[in-house]
Structure 1
Amino acid sequence: MIDAVLERIDADLEASLERLFHLLRIPSISTDPDYADACAEAAVWCQGALAELGFEAEVRPTPGHAMVVAHRADGASDGPHVLFYGHYDVQPVDPVELWHTDPFAPRLATEADGNKVIVARGSADDKGQLLTFVEACRAWIAVTGKLPVPVTVLFEGEEESGSPSLVPFLKANAGELSHDVALICDTGMWDRETPAITGSLRGLVGEEIVVTAANKDLHSGLFGGAARNPNHVLAKILADLHDESGRVTIPGFYDGVPETPAEILRQWEGLNFTAADFLGGVGLKLPAGESDRSVLEQLWARPTAEVNGMIGGYTGAGFKTVIPSKASAKVSFRLVGDQDPEAVRAAFRAFVSARIPADCSVEFHPHGGSPGLRVSLDSPYMARSLEGLSEEWSKPAVVIGGGGSIPIVGHFKDILGMDSLLIGFGHDDDQIHSPNEKYDVASFHKGIRSWARVLAKLAG
């Protein structure tokens, strides 16, 4: 049966591209109120595309942009009920003068290496990826009259503007949306030939600290050497965050950090990833993290403490000999495993407070916190999905980590009680959020075929 479905996908590729181009022409920029009507149009288009396939599909209003919710439950009763998530909104196009053509006039282009790509805002993030799943469903329904497993679809219209309506919507509709496993397409492959499932994401804690010494800025000639300089205090505290091996020195920081399974480390070693290649692209040579860990492990499976900004004293043009009254820094922590965001925050504040001199004071301002996330490697859904991807790409699919954070995964876990599988077909050079965003035609085509195989595997 899967062979007939794949043949249908191949035969229908041109029509699939036409449908994608229609959606790409809608300028659904969620963060700009001037495009509210376009966002509404995109939601209606998605609802119509799903209703055409026999889904019970609705546009659901929110205080912001609408959600699209759809159900089709005619799949195998003994297979998992999946929730597929994507977003129909896109980033602004500025600076528009750097686009080679109209961002909302999608076109096919051939790159210098002969690779064919779809160029338009939203082609990779996330309209092209979203439609790979829809088109896979289309092929299954056309060939068999049904889907292999029951499917619920949730399309959001505010992902690119912070998802302000998402958490309340999930809480209000948890009974309807909570199923066996969530499928999320907003990710990428390891490389052009190697499919991947993102099996872990790092959490995040943000803190701003303000150190105050004197009650006003001081002349460094009149007070230098005698008055406490908060720049010195702050710089020493921040330098103390790491030891010479790159390990974070905050007591209790590594509580809940698991060791990466040997099987996964071996898989990562086989990816031919080098620190020189990774850092060379940004003008660096030497990795600066934990010296006993590979760069991939540092990025995907280890926690971090980073200083994102420092302000103190005169920073304008020219020179001003001043001892500032205040100095501040913005510090972020990426978390993994079972690290508790609030425990990390409390430990950091205690670490800083213990190093504040008696004639100085410190203030703390929190900037969000979320835990890291892991998908169980023993999950049958993981194993079946890897098998389907490997068959399509004729190369073993790999489990990779994500250095950043994708909040929706945490919300699905906390609110809906569901694990997520992050399966996407984007590439690092797709220029998402940038001018001339593109999505490889091969990614779109084989992405559709991949989802068709994954659905078949999930059905058992």
Structure 2
Amino acid sequence: MSQLAEFLATNQNKNVEELKELLRIPSISAQSEHKEDVQTAASWIADKLKNIGMEHVEVIQTEGHPIIYADWLHQENAPTVLVYGHYDVQPVDPVHLWETPPFEPTIRDEKIFARGATDDKGQLFLHIKAVESLLKSEGKLPVNVKFCIEGEEEIGSPHLPAYLTDNKEKLSCDVVVISDSDMWDKGVPAITYSLRGLCALEVSLHTANTDLHSGSYGGGVQNANHLLVQLLSSLHDTNGKVNVAHFYDDVVELTEFEKEQMKALGLDEEKVKESLGLTDLTGGEKDYSYAERISSRPTLEINGMWGGFQGEGTKTVIPNEAHAKITCRLVNNQQPKKIQELIKKHLEEFAPKGCTIKVSLQDTGNPFLTPIDSPMIQKAAEAYQNVYGKSPVYKREGGSIPIVSDFNQALNVPVVLMGFGLPGENLHAPNEHFHLENFNKGILTICSFFELIKK
């Protein structure tokens, strides 16, 4: 057994107990009553980084929650790795669905249950433990390491992009490594090489200057709900394609290699239908497979609609206003702000007679893609192979982590997403957990990656 493996085996229980300490802190960034708890979590991580031997540790205050920086820079001829993670967590509602309290970490069936266990305290902690294990077992790191850890990821990272832009030299590195994603399955590692971007809009439609009595005016005046349904129906054609002019202009089709990789994942559509209680999976563009539609194709979704009377019983009114929320998942090369403007233009042009509309542009996040044949991606794949005995699969993630693109653009270096969570670990949901099998293996994989890229 190597010194590193022996050190990890000896300290396994201690490492898990330390993770429990971090998980006990209710660092919910979205709720003002937990502002001090978020600060406590930042201080806890900063102290831990100092204790393991990291240097220049800072807790940087923002107008929101703190950013933590630390570094170890003693390998002159080796590359520098910047590790990103976040210590804030999602709210815990509905509490009654938790089998054990969300901030009292509990181990059941070789899993640790707590809010933040997999998203992202558990996965972030792997990197802290990897650095500690190497420093204590070997006295040094094979590469230079920097940490940039935030407390606002769950509320959209409002202050980190400016920090990245203002501190390019301080954060300069050869690769950014992030563990805030998942593996394909138990024992099957995965590298996420693409994330979809995001943009959001809200449309409000108005007709008369007040709600009207349907007996007095029905059949004679426009109904805001009817007009909004008509307008929203114009956004897609009968094959599920987005019907907004120029929406697809910048979309890059998958390469044949990528299509082969996607097929190799063996996504079981029947299992998906069964798990969701559906009879078919026919959403989106009909000319693409289900796997492509949920990962490599852009979407436009109506997330919410409201207008008119919604209380108990009946109220015979003709509503004078109706509203809808829209979001798009965007793929590499699409520009969120450009897409927002295209949709806004479409809604204004297709607005039915007899109404006025107002379209407000809301959040955006850029898509991200790293080529599969990138040297850093291949070193990460080799590290997974060394520890799990299996090459990772390559997958496109349908969701969005906008800060990934921010790192890529601000620092102009590759970003490697090395996830150690598993599907079904209930991130953002009650009974969130993290499989302890991937706790030690994750630490070893990160250490292997550091060793491999020093060459």
TM-score normalised per structure 2: 0.93
The aligned residue for residue 63 of structure 2 is 63
The aligned residue for residue 25 of structure 1 is 24
Alignment of 1:283-432 (within 5 A): 283-287=277-281, 288-432=283-427
**Counterpart contact for 1:55–1:70, Cα < 8 Å:** yes
Pick from 122, 125, 136: which aligns with 1:128?
Answer: 122
For the residue of structure 1 that corresponds to 2:337, the secondary structure is: helix
Alignment of 1:38-437 (within 5 A): 38-56=37-55, 57-75=57-75, 77=77, 79-110=78-109, 116-287=110-281, 288-437=283-432
Q: Distance in 1 between matches of 2:353 and 2:21?
A: 65
Q: Distance in 2 between matches of 1:36 and 1:227?
A: 50
Shift in CA distance, 420/234, structure 1 to aligned 2, threshold 3 Å:
same
Q: Deviations over 1:27-59 (max 9, x none)?
A: 333333443343333222222222223211222
**Counterpart contact for 2:118–2:425, Cα < 8 Å:** yes
| Percentage identity across paired residues of the two chains | 39
Q: Distance in 2 between matches of 1:102 and 1:341?
A: 39
For the residue of structure 2 that corresponds to 1:413, the secondary structure is: helix
Shift in CA distance, 76/14, structure 1 to aligned 2, threshold 3 Å:
farther
- Give the superposition deviation at 1:268: 1.7
Identify the range of structure 1 (157-166 vs 177-186) with the bigger mean alpha-carbon deviation: 157-166
- Give the superposition deviation at 1:214: 2.3
Q: Distance in 2 between matches of 1:167 and 1:383?
A: 27
Shift in CA distance, 327/99, structure 1 to aligned 2, threshold 3 Å:
closer
Q: Distance in 2 between matches of 1:409 and 1:444?
A: 23
Q: Deviations over 1:387-423 (max 9, x none)?
A: 2112221222012112111121122123333332111
Q: Distance in 2 between matches of 1:187 and 1:234?
A: 37
- Give the superposition deviation at 1:336: 0.5
Q: Deviations over 1:268-317 (max 9, x none)?
A: 21222122222322221322221121111111100001111112322222
For the residue of structure 2 that corresponds to 1:152, the secondary structure is: strand
Identify the range of structure 1 (145-154 vs 425-434) with the bigger mean alpha-carbon deviation: 425-434
Q: Distance in 2 between matches of 1:347 and 1:61?
A: 38
**Counterpart contact for 1:275–1:285, Cα < 8 Å:** no
Q: Distance in 1 between matches of 2:211 and 2:39?
A: 52
The aligned residue for residue 113 of structure 1 is none
Q: Deviations over 1:332-358 (max 9, x none)?
A: 111111112222122212222222234
Alignment of 1:3-14 (within 5 A): 3-14=2-13
The one-letter amino acid of 2:327's match is S
Shift in CA distance, 356/30, structure 1 to aligned 2, threshold 3 Å:
closer
The one-letter amino acid of 2:5's match is L
Q: How many residues align?
A: 453
Alignment of 1:445-460 (within 5 A): 445-460=440-455
**Counterpart contact for 2:3–2:138, Cα < 8 Å:** no
For the residue of structure 1 that corresponds to 2:116, the secondary structure is: coil
Q: Distance in 2 between matches of 1:36 and 1:182?
A: 28
For the residue of structure 1 that corresponds to 2:245, the secondary structure is: coil
Identify the range of structure 1 (137-146 vs 379-388) with the bigger mean alpha-carbon deviation: 137-146
Q: Distance in 2 between matches of 1:164 and 1:66?
A: 11
**Counterpart contact for 1:6–1:452, Cα < 8 Å:** no
- Give the superposition deviation at 1:7: 3.8
Q: Distance in 1 between matches of 2:334 and 2:299?
A: 12
Q: Distance in 1 between matches of 2:93 and 2:276?
A: 23
**Counterpart contact for 2:296–2:331, Cα < 8 Å:** yes
Shift in CA distance, 58/345, structure 1 to aligned 2, threshold 3 Å:
closer
For the residue of structure 2 that corresponds to 1:125, the secondary structure is: coil
The one-letter amino acid of 1:431's match is N
Q: Distance in 2 between matches of 1:191 and 1:76?
A: 38
**Counterpart contact for 1:76–1:148, Cα < 8 Å:** no
For the residue of structure 2 that corresponds to 1:354, the secondary structure is: helix
CA RMSD, Structure 1 to Structure 2 (Å): 2.1
Q: Distance in 2 between matches of 1:75 and 1:7?
A: 24
The one-letter amino acid of 1:356's match is A
The one-letter amino acid of 1:64's match is G
**Counterpart contact for 1:178–1:417, Cα < 8 Å:** no
**Counterpart contact for 2:366–2:402, Cα < 8 Å:** no
- Give the superposition deviation at 1:76: 6.2
- Give the superposition deviation at 1:3: 4.5
**Counterpart contact for 1:9–1:136, Cα < 8 Å:** no
In structure 1, the gaps of 5 or more residues are: 111-115
**Counterpart contact for 2:23–2:104, Cα < 8 Å:** yes
The one-letter amino acid of 1:24's match is L
In structure 2, the gaps of 5 or more residues are: none
Shift in CA distance, 417/232, structure 1 to aligned 2, threshold 3 Å:
same
